[in-house]
Chains A and B, each alone.
Chain A
């Protein structure tokens, strides 16, 4: 029997410092869901393909189903729970609701985190760039067009808020 003592790791989770012990073989998505109760991070394909388990690691989208928990030592993890709240929706969340960009909603947390990373990197994405990023998340309900509409709406609003003279 291989002995593998638990590791103590420190990381930032949705803006709060955390220190926990994890087995080396523990996968990040299980820690998020089972230790922290952050069930907005979904598990579907379990092989880094579908996008449902996406979290932001230092601001970049990452498949939490394919990340050992020890690998986030010293890093910042953002889940959907850290992006907005029911009282104060994130602009992407608001745009998703307005455009009806979800049906079952299972892919939505990962989708919004992925697209948040895109908009922070490129506040004015064209549809090609959007489709390129969306190719790493699977939605079985919407057909994607309403998701694209939602992102373009959120991006346009963000630009008009940060640049009041801008015309979208």
Chain B
């Protein structure tokens, strides 16, 4: 390790495909490493957006769990903007056939919201399973996304559900689909995530098996209208260091169980190579994705297969 800083050494571990977990283990973490920062506490969303436009490197803090833990690992932040008390960022409403979720809503607030449950029950029941109790009360939906941490589950769930992200920018609101945001990684310095909108005019079946947490998983979203399948989309968790989400061919709902094997193997074969690390090989992850997708498609069609 001589001649290398801790961070350089840790980065080398990642380059050697030991993966981000090794990265985290390698870095000495401590609350005592949290460096001083300038704290800004805007009182309105407009003020928050203006501050962020002025300090484009500022870190937005709402729940704070992810940010604090990154700072313990030595990440320095010069300006932090605390938006945790902006009620305007915590509203949940249905508008124009979409469930609009304020970016500052906690995971618990989304999962328990009567408005959200009424509009998209499958999204709420799925959201109620991510993270653990303390995180659910504290962590925010927006924070989960903006951490851009591949192991977090918000992005794949929302991408599969067809969500769009509304950013407050100096030039006005900018809307970008969750899939495009993570695929294109736009230059978003100075953008404030204001809300997440998920279409809710049609029935959404969302199936997500987290039993291989940390290895691989699939979020399957089937949109129905009048009992007919309108779209089938699957996003992958834990197998890549970025979001992977793709549409599947449409099929009659009742045919999904019988077509599940074919659809799943085609989807899995077309995947880019999943990561190989100390947890699992890329080939194993690909296999897990195929199996989970096959089961999810069968469940979406009303059957249960082993």
Cβ contacts under 8 Å, B133 to chain A: 61, 114, 132-133, 135-136
Cβ contacts under 8 Å, A70 to chain B: 39, 82
Our count of residue pairs bridging A and B at CB distance below 8 angstroms stands at: 81
Cβ contacts under 8 Å, B64 to chain A: 66-68, 71
Asked if B185 is an interface residue, CB under 8 A from chain A, the answer is no
Asked if A4 is an interface residue, CB under 8 A from chain B, the answer is yes
Chain B residues numbered 10-35 whose CB sits less than 8 Å from any CB in chain A: 29-31, 34-35
Binding-face segment, A43-51, A86-94, A155-163:
A43-51
Q: How many residues of A are counted as interface, with CB atoms below 8 angstroms from the partner's CB atoms? A: 32
Would you call A46 and B35 a contact (CB within 8 A)? no
Residue of B nearest to A30 (CB): B31
Option from A25, A48, A114 in Cβ contact (under 8 Å) with B69: A48
Q: How far is the CB of B242 from chain A (nearest CB, A)?
A: 23
Residue of A nearest to B39 (CB): A24
Would you call B36 and A136 a contact (CB within 8 A)? no
Complex CA distance for A62 and B36, rounded to whole angstroms:
23
Query: Digit string of A7-41 for contact with B (CB within 8 Å is 1, else 0)?
Result: 10000000000000001110101100000000000
Cβ contacts under 8 Å, A47 to chain B: 29, 69, 72
Q: How far is the CB of A7 from chain B (nearest CB, A)?
A: 7
Query: Digit string of A60-88 for contact with B (CB within 8 Å is 1, else 0)?
Result: 11110111101100000000000000000
Give the 8 A-B residue pairs with the shortest CB-CB distance, closest first. A136-B132, A24-B39, A136-B133, A60-B137, A4-B36, A66-B65, A25-B34, A66-B68
12 example contacts (A-B, Cβ-Cβ < 8 A) are as follows A2-B37, A4-B37, A4-B38, A24-B39, A27-B34, A48-B134, A61-B134, A63-B134, A63-B138, A68-B64, A114-B134, A132-B133
Q: A23-B36, A61-B133 are in contact. List 15 more A-B contacts (CB 8 A).
A: A24-B36, A25-B34, A25-B71, A27-B68, A29-B31, A46-B30, A62-B134, A66-B64, A67-B64, A68-B64, A70-B39, A70-B82, A71-B84, A133-B133, A135-B133
